Amino acid sequence: MPIEVTDINKHFGKLHVLRNCSLSIRDGETITLLGASGCGKTTLLRCIAGFETPSSGRVVLGGEDVTRLPPNQRGVGFVFQNYALFPHMTVAENLAYGLRVRRADRTTRKAKVEEALNLVSLTDFAERYPQSLSGGQQQRVAIARALVLRPKVLLLDEAFNALDAKLRVTMQIELRKIVKQVGITTICVTHDQTEALTISDRIAVMSKGQIDQFATPTQIYDEPTTAYVADFIGAANVLPAQFAAKLPALGAMGSRDDRMIVIRPENLTVRPTNGSEPLAGTIAFARITGPSVEYEIDAADRKLRALVGRANHTMLDIGTAVALDVDKAEACVPVSGIVEGPA
């Protein structure tokens, strides 16, 4: 089911937590609301679910305006951060809860619960209480409880947070398979960029209650539109245009002063020099990350990060004078805004 979110604003007293948020999500798409804590991503999700009512703007699910509808009339599946499984019901009873509300008869309930448990590979745990399950199992129960009702939309609020790193990735891949299998429109909220890159068709990066950029993971990484997005996803050198213009490969680009230029560390080239280059610096720190070498370079009062593949490169010592350049002009992406705080 396609989702249209139009110009959502939300105030909590004097706090303006959502500012003109708009999203247009296609049927069957999986998107992620990504941002640091306090950026409003959970509030936006709760507005879509109906747990919050926006101060202004509209939420349209599959052509129907649901902005004023309570959550129990939206037909949306929601997975809470800590799963919110009913502790006084077994796994099977948790799954059957929504079916009972819809007055499904006993045989239908049994069949659907069975099917949903099968989907998340938890058939053997039907009669257990949620407290006796591991975090990953509880999460799968929460997803199954939402999916058993065949919602047209699935919303997940930081649903992978409580899992340890290894299990998290497994569950993310698992979730992606499941939602693609049942073809459900899915919105996830997370502050974890890896998670966003793993599970999303498109990512909406949010900061300060606004959506900075809404695009595919590749676009977000290669063509960030704001300095915040570039900095939040992956590592980035965010440089004033005048500074970046000194890079030989860049030519005349960046003549406008007000812009910032983003250069990913892996696009920066490093080579030893005598110091007569337009943009030179000294290596302040060097370490091997495995397949590449990571340098921290002091150049004209700035710290730059470079990631150089080790295939044709001998690691340089700290203190070496180096000349900087980019491997191609497209690697320099002009963005708006500035990065706040330590990059």
Partner 1 sequence: MAASVFDKFVNGRGFWPAAPAFLYLIVFFIMPMAVLLAFGFVPIERGTVQNSNFTLEYLFDVLTDDLFWRVWWRSFYVGVLSTFFCFLFAYPLAYAHTLVGRRLQAAILILTVAPLLTSALVRTYAWLVILGGRRGVINAVLMDLGLVSRPLRMLYSDFAVIVGMVQIHLPFMILPLITVLSSRDRKLEQASLGLGASRVRTFFKVVLPMSMPGIVAGTTIVFALSYTNFIIPQLLGGGGYTTVAVQVYEFIVVILDWNKGAILALLLLVSCFLFVLLVTLAGNRMMRWTEAKAR
The residues binding partner 1 (CB under 8 A) are 49-51, 70-73, 75-78, 80, 82, 84-89, 97-98, 101-102, 128-135, 145, 149
Residue closer to partner 1 (CB basis): 22 or 97: 97
CB of 52 to partner 1, least distance (A): 11
Give the shortest CB-45-to-partner 1 separation in angstroms: 12
CB closer to partner 1, 16 vs 51: 51
CB of 183 to partner 1, least distance (A): 21
- Closer residue to partner 1 (CB): 90 or 320: 90
User: Least distance (Å) from partner 1 to the CB of residue 235?
Assistant: 35
Minimum CB separation of residue 128 from partner 1 in Å reads 7
Shortest Å distance, C-beta 46 to partner 1: 9
Compute φ and ψ for 238, nearest 5 degrees: -105, 115
Closer to partner 1 by CB, 130 or 265: give it. 130
Distance of closest approach, residue 151 Cβ to partner 1, in angstroms: 10
Name the percent of the chain in helix, strand, coil, to the closest 5. Answer: 30, 30, 35
Q: What is the DSSP string of 148-201?
A: TT--SEEEEESTTTTS-HHHHHHHHHHHHHHHHHHT-EEEEEES-HHHHHHH-S
**In the complex, least distance from residue 158 CB atom to partner 1, rounded to whole angstroms:** 12
Q: How far apart are CA 253 and CA 242, in angstroms?
A: 9
Q: What is the number of other CB atoms lying within 10 angstroms of the CB of residue 64?
A: 11
First-last CA distance in the chain? 39
The amino acid that residue 151 corresponds to is P
Region of 43 (left: φ > 0; alpha: ψ -120 to 50; beta: rest) is alpha
The residue (of 78 and 221) whose beta carbon lies closer to partner 1 is 78
Q: Which residues have C-beta within 8 Å of that of residue 193, sequence separation ≥ 6?
A: 34, 232, 233, 234
Task: Give the Cα separation of 317 and 57 in Å (integer).
Answer: 57
Which residue, 69 or 284, has its beta carbon nearer to partner 1?
69
Query: Contact 230/335 with Cβ under 8 angstroms?
Result: yes
Nearer to partner 1, 98 or 209 (CB): 98
For residue 94, the 8-state DSSP code is: H
Cα–Cα separations (whole angstroms), residue 85 to 75, 135, 156, 185, 186: 18, 12, 14, 22, 20
Q: Is the dihedral of CA 320, 326, 327, 331 positive or negative?
A: positive
Would you say 82 or 292 has its CB closer to partner 1?
82
Token digits for 215?
Answer: 């695009």
Distance of closest approach, residue 88 Cβ to partner 1, in angstroms: 4
Nearer to partner 1, 105 or 257 (CB): 105
Alpha helix locations (H) across the chain?
41-49, 91-101, 106-119, 135-147, 165-182, 193-199, 217-222, 227-232, 241-244
